């Protein structure tokens, strides 16, 4: 048995994260280290997306949410934005047969209308083509930022209040959650950020209230299956208290 298989078999199946979210950072630095253009780093990053999707599916994880392009990423140089959009459209089309084979359902989170038409069409096609799949749900955050999504939810709820369809006093946390792009998706159990920075960068701010955070210096293109399993092992060794005491958690109160 190789190292990876040994680690996988050491996992506690009763404590697998249901939802893993990832911030895929470090493509640019990876490329620079190799003397390549930043876009080559993004292209290499697609291979990691392929691997983490496959491994998540094999491990029985139900939701994998990837921060593929943030609202703020629109401010990058135009040629880098174009490359990323091209890569995303190209990758989703290329991966579609294998996604279907693995029963993976594509879900899109973010301001999808801002995505250039060519990439958008491929993404919408993949979402439609995989809509019957019942295995891993792969949530791709595109033109996404948490503050954008929370403001969107506020606008939606306010419109209903103004139309007299709801009483402002009845606005609950559940109602806010139901108006986010992640409505119906359980909150992430584990958030992994590669690339060495220890920040959240406007990602899933509402949803990660009780997520376990895992930061690794490994750059996204180098993030291996073994490192992914290490993050899950680390997660399984943590005690999730959700505001309770350790004693309460241990007594299942």
What minimum distance in Å lies between the beta carbon of 143 and ligand FPP? 12
Whether the Cβ atoms of residue 126 and residue 106 lie closer than 8 Å to each other: yes
Instruction: Tell the smallest beta-carbon distance from residue 5 to ligand FPP (Å).
Output: 26
In terms of CB distance, is 20 or 153 closer to ligand FPP? 20
Q: How far does CA 148 lie from the centroid of its chain? A: 16
Cα separation, 185 vs 82, in Å, equals 30
Active-site hit among 58, 73, 79, 82: 73
CB closer to ligand FPP, 146 vs 153: 146
The least CB distance from residue 24 to ligand FPP, in Å, is: 5
- C-beta of 64 vs 208, nearer to ligand FPP: 64
Alpha-helical (H) ranges within 137-236 are 146-162, 173-178, 225-236
Compute the distance between CA of residue 72 and CA of residue 70 in angstroms, rounded to an integer.
5
Residue 153 to residue 179: CA distance in whole angstroms: 5
Q: Residue 150: what are its φ and ψ, rounded to 5°?
A: -70, -40
Name the residues that contact ligand FPP, by CB under 6 A.
Answer: 24-29, 42, 45-46, 49, 66, 68, 73, 84, 87-88, 91, 140, 195, 220
Select 45 or 188, whichever has its Cβ closest to ligand FPP.
45
- Helices 38-59 and 78-101: crossing angle in degrees, nearest 10, is 20
Please give the C-alpha separations between residue 37 and each of 34, 42, 44, 75, 79, in angstroms, as whole numbers. Answer: 9, 9, 11, 18, 11
Give the shortest CB-27-to-ligand FPP separation in angstroms. Answer: 4
Min dist. Cβ of residue 113 to ligand FPP (A): 18
Backbone angles phi, psi at 144, to 5 degrees: -115, 140
Candidate list 2, 12, 13, 25, residue with the active-site label:
25
Question: Distance (Å, rounded) from C-alpha 194 to C-alpha 220?
Answer: 6
Q: Which is nearer to ligand FPP, 142 or 157 (CB)?
A: 142
Q: Is residue 25 among the annotated active site residues?
A: yes
State how far the Cα of 166 lies from the Cα of 164, in Å rounded to an integer: 6
> Closest-CB residue for ligand FPP?
28
- Annotated catalytic residues are 25, 73
């Amino acid at each position: 048995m190789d190292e990876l298989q040994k680690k996988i078999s050491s996992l506690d199946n009763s404590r697998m994260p249901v939802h893993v979210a990832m911030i895929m950072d470090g493509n640019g630095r990876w490329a620079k280290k190799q003397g390549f253009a930043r876009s080559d780093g993004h292209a290499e990053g697609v291979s990691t997306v392929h691997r983490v999707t496959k491994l998540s599916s094999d491990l029985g994880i139900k939701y994998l949410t990837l921060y593929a392009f943030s609202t703020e990423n629109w401010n990058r140089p135009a040629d880098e934005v174009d490359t990323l959009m091209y890569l995303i459209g190209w990758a989703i089309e290329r991966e579609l047969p294998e996604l279907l084979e693995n029963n993976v359902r594509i879900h899109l989170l973010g301001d999808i209308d801002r995505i250039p038409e060519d990439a958008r069409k491929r993404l919408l096609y993949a979402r439609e083509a995989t809509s019957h799949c019942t295995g891993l749900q792969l949530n791709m955050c595109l033109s996404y930022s948490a503050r954008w999504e929370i403001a969107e939810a506020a606008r939606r709820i306010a419109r209903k209040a103004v139309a007299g369809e709801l009483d402002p006093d009845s606005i609950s946390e559940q109602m806010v959650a139901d108006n986010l792009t992640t409505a119906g998706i359980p909150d992430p159990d584990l958030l992994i950020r590669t690339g060495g920075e220890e920040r959240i960068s406007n990602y899933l701010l509402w949803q990660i209230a009780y997520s376990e955070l895992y930061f690794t210096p490994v750059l996204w293109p180098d993030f291996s299956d073994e490192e992914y399993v290490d993050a899950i092992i680390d997660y399984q060794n943590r005690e999730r208290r959700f505001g309770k005491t350790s004693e309460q958690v241990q007594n299942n109160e």
